[in-house]
Amino acid sequence: MDPTLTLSARELAEKIRAQTLSSRAVVEAHVRRIEEVNPILNAVVRERFFAARREADAADRAVAEGRDDLGPLHGVPCTIKESFALSGMPNTGGLVARQGRLAEHDSVAVARVRAAGAIPLGITNVSELCMWWESSNRVYGRTSNPYDPSRCVGGSSGGEGAIVGAGASPFGLGSDIGGSIRIPAFFNGVFGHKSTGGLVPATGQFPIPHGHALRMMTSGPIARRAEDLMPILRVLAGSDPGDPLCRDFPLGDPAAVELSRLRAVSIEENGFSRVDEELVAAQRRVEAHLRTGGVEVTRARSKEVLPELASSLEIWSARMSTAGGPTFAAMLGNGPDVNAFRELLKWTLGRSAHTLPALVLAIVERFPHLAEARMHVALEAFESLKEKLAQLIGKDGVLLYPSFTQPAPRHNRPLLNPFQFSYPSILNALEVPSTQVPLGLGTRGLPLGIQVASLHENDHVTIAVALELERAFGGWVPPRMAYAA
C-alpha cells in the first residue's frame, strides 16, 4: 500500500503545510485507491474527483502563497456519508422516492470540515433511511467489507466504515442513533466516535430525528487513526440554530487525561445477547494492559451491577418511540404512509423499491400496543441505568464494553438475529460518549474491537483511552485486499 494511505489526517495536513507532500498528490493517492477497491466494495456511491482535484490545487496555491489562515484539515481528502447534504451531490438516505435529488447546500457538519480545509472525494453508502445495520438499499445496492467481501460493513454509516477501512479515505463523517458509527467502524477495523448527545448539530441531514432523538443521534468521525478523533470533533462541535437541542460546552484535552488515575469498569455481556469468545478475550487483553499502566480496572457482571442492560433494546425503543416525529412508514413513502404489507408482497416478487428490513420495521410500528405494555417499565429502567452508571464509573471513569456481539457477519445474516445492536444502542439512549477502538484481527482475519464509554462531556476521556489502546495494540490493520487485484 502507498504509505500516504496509512497516514493520519493530522500527519497529512502537516506534510501539506510543510510542502513535503502536495494536497494534489494526497488526493490522487486516495482517488487511485478508491478506483482500485470500490468496484468490489461499492462504498463510494458518487464521486467528485474532478472537483476534489481542483480544490487540492487551490489548497496547494494557498500554501505556496504563505497564507496564515489554513485550517487544521487543510488539503486533506475525506468522504461523507450520503445522508449528509453535500452541495451538488445526491442526498437520498437510500430512499428510491428521493432518487435524483441533489443537495443545494452543505449540511452544517460538512460545511465545518470543509471550512477546516478538508476536501470531500465523494459520498458513501447507507442503509435505507439509515435504520438498519447492513448498508444496502435499492438506490445504490449493497456495500461489502474490505477484509472479506462476503461480509457486512455495518450500518448505517457502512460505506464510510468500508472506505476508511480499505485505506481509501483518512476519515469520514458518520451519524449514529443506534450504533451507526461504531458498528461500521468495528466491522471495518477503524476508529469511530459517538459524541455526547447535543455536541454536534444534525442540521442538513436526511433523515433527521425529532424531539429528544436529536440528542440520541450524534454526528462524528470515522478515522483510521485515533489521533484524528478529537481534532475533527473540535471542528464539528458547537451549537447551530437549525438544531435546537445542540449546545456549546468545553471539550477537554485527551493529553491532559492521566490514565494512571483512571477507573475502568469492564462488562463483557448485557444479559440479553451473547458475545463472541474472541471478542471477550480481546476485551480481557485490554483490561490487562490498562492495569499495567496503573488503571484501576474492575471486571463486573451486568446482572450484578447494571441489570437494566438486559433491557437495552426496550430502553432504546422506548426513547425512540417517545421522541415524536413522522412514522417510519411515512418516511418510507416520502410523505404519505407506504403500505408496508403491499410492499412486502411486491418484495417477494422482486418488485418493491424498499429493502426487507425497512418493510419489517414499518409493519412492526403498526402495532404500538406491543411496546406500550412495557413502555413505562422501560423508561423507569432508563432513569435507573443513568443513575447507576454514573455511580459505577464515577465522574472521570470509563466503561469497557463490547462494540457488538460478533465480528462482521456474512451478508444477510443480520436478518436472522436482528437485535444484536443492543450493545451500542443503549449508549445512544443514555446520550453518553463512546469510542470504538480496533484491536487487530481475529483468527478469521476479521477486525476485533471494543467500546470505551464514559459520562456526559467526557469525550476526551474515551478518546484518551483509545489513543493508549492504539499505541498498545496497533489500531487499524490495513486489509490485504488481494481479491481486488
pLDDT the model gives residue 369: 53
- Among candidate residues 272, 402, 387, 375, the one with its CA nearest the CA of residue 319: 375
pLDDT the model gives residue 482: 56
Say which range, 166-175, 275-284, 306-315, 332-341, has the weakest mean pLDDT. 332-341
Helices (H) and strands (E) in the chain, counts: 17, 13
Q: Which of these is catalytic: 22, 135, 156, 312?
A: 156
* Cell 474491537 -> residue: 449
pLDDT the model gives residue 367: 77
CATH of domain 3-320+370-484: 3.90.1300.10
pLDDT the model gives residue 379: 95
21 vs 38: CA distance, rounded Å: 25
Greater confidence (353 vs 368) lies with 353
The pTM of the full predicted model, rounded to 2 decimals, is 0.97
In the chain, domain spans: 3-320+370-484, 328-364
Segment 369-392 mean pLDDT: 88
| pLDDT digit string, tens, across residues 119-143 | 999 999 999 999 999 999 999 999 9
330 vs 22: CA distance, rounded Å: 47
47 vs 57: CA distance, rounded Å: 18
- Quick one: which H or E segment has residue 364? helix 356-364
| Whether residue 346 lies in the annotated active site | no
| Whether residue 303 lies in the annotated active site | no
Q: Which of these is catalytic: 180, 195, 312, 422?
A: 180
201 vs 179: CA distance, rounded Å: 17
Q: What are the helix (H) ranges across 19-91?
A: 23-41, 49-64
Q: Exposure string (b/e) for 192-224, b if CB count within 10 Å is 16 or more?
A: bbbbbbbbbbbbbbbbbbeebbbbbbbbbbbbb
Q: Which of these is catalytic: 81, 144, 195, 422?
A: 81
Segment 143-171 mean pLDDT: 98
| Whether residue 434 lies in the annotated active site | no
Query: Cα–chain-centroid distance for residue 37?
Result: 21
| pLDDT digit string, tens, across residues 419-442 | 999 999 999 999 999 999 999 999
| pLDDT digit string, tens, across residues 280-325 | 999 999 999 999 999 999 999 999 999 999 999 999 999 999 999 9
202 vs 67: CA distance, rounded Å: 31
